[in-house]
Amino acid sequence: MHKPVFSTVALLVLLAAVEGSYGATADRIVAIVGGEPIMRSDIDRFAGRRIKMAPRVFKQTLQSLISERLLVQAADREGIRAKITDQEVDEEVEWLARRENVTLEQLRGKLSELGFSVESHRKLIGDKLAQRKLIDQKIGSLGTVTPEEVSKYYKTHLDEFRQPERRHVRMISVFFNKFKVGTAALARAEAKKQINEITAKLKQGKEMKHLAVDYAETGDDKAASGGDWGWVTKEGVLLPALAEKAFAMKVGEISGRIATELGFHVIKVEELEAEHIRRFESITVKAPEPGQPDEVVEGAQVEIRRKLTLKRREAFRKDYVNRLWQKTCVELF
């Protein structure tokens, strides 16, 4: 699976931070790292163009910029930066566009509106790729998390993997604002009439998923998909009154009319999963229908390995930057 370098939001912030180095007019030098200046305008842009900045934020931002510059310079010395290909940069640009659900032209337009050139955009991505490859090369086997470490973390942090009770809920809602009848009382009466009609059909044996579609409003994606709300927890997405009712029902049971401040609702609990500790291993669940793909349920070990790897990588990066800082002429003004 493609591993992104950074999100588009981070891209825009970082682009702003380095734009001064690519030709923007700077106000004054705040640091020189290995002969390369970092400008006050870089600091302001990196921090989101704040007018006023607390000393602590200024210091943290400057340190981040210095770290970035040190890593890129190290990647240059190792010959890594020069080996970043246009194809690699293109793939990152395309991934960012897909991530934000925009075309390449729309992505460039967003950058252009903020005053960033295509060239500086591509250079920044190349720099980030080079930093990642540099750390990959330097950390080597030190970044490997062993199965024993993963297993030990799981056994000593079981509470992190405790899953609350959840229920698979299907629901039909009739909202008061659906009825444009002049007064709130009249709208409530119309909504009540319609929900009673729906509950009557359910008692006659009509399928809830079909009724949800029949009574769906334009733009109501939940209703259009048969009223399927998927798996929910008691403290999750449902309104309190709905959650209270759903978690008091039996599997297969259909509620009567439930009133909330938004409208009237009827709920069906299709499945129940009791509170449990998330399993360690990943499992494959066979598809219910022939021809459908099997579902891989990710075990806790995958998340733990990812978490420990990231933690180790960040610790290594911090230590490596500190060593680069000690060996590089860094002047602060």
In tens, the pLDDT along 268-304 reads: 999 999 999 999 998 887 877 787 888 888 899 999 9
Give the pLDDT of residue 219: 73
107 confidence band (pLDDT: 50, 70, 90) = confident
Q: Which of 7-11, 26-30, 67-71, 322-326 has the lowest mean pLDDT?
A: 7-11
Q: Which tokens in the block code for residue 164? A: 């609350």
Give residue 16's pLDDT band: very low, low, confident or very high (50, 70, 90).
very low
- Tokens read off for 39: 């400008």
Q: Which residue has the higher pLDDT, 159 or 107?
A: 159
81's tokens: 């930066």
What was the pLDDT predicted at 54?
83
Count of CB atoms within 10 A of residue 280's CB? 15
Q: What is the pTM of this model?
A: 0.69
Q: Is the pLDDT of residue 26 over 70?
A: no
Domains and CATH numbers, the chain: 8-145+305-332 (1.10.4030.10), 165-274 (3.10.50.40)
Q: What is the pLDDT of residue 17?
A: 43
Summarize pLDDT for 32-63 with one digit per residue, the tens.
999 999 888 777 766 655 557 788 888 888 99
pLDDT in tens, 182-200: 899 999 999 999 999 999 9
pLDDT (0 to 100) of residue 116: 66
Reported confidence tier of residue 115, pLDDT bands at 50, 70, 90: low
pLDDT exceeds cutoff 80 at 21: no
Span 143-158, pLDDT tens digits: 999 999 999 999 999 9
pLDDT tens readout for residues 62-97 = 999 999 999 999 999 999 999 999 999 999 999 988
The whole-number pLDDT of residue 280 equals 95
Q: Which two tokens stand for residue 281?
A: 């291993």
Phi, psi angle pair for 42, to nearest 5°: -65, -45
Taking Cα atoms as reference points, which of 296, 330, 255 lies closest to residue 67?
330
How far apart (Å, rounded) are the C-alpha atoms in residues 296 and 163? 18
Backbone angles phi, psi at 22, to 5 degrees: -105, 15
Closest CA to 298 of 312, 285, 309: 285
Mean pLDDT of the chain, nearest integer: 87
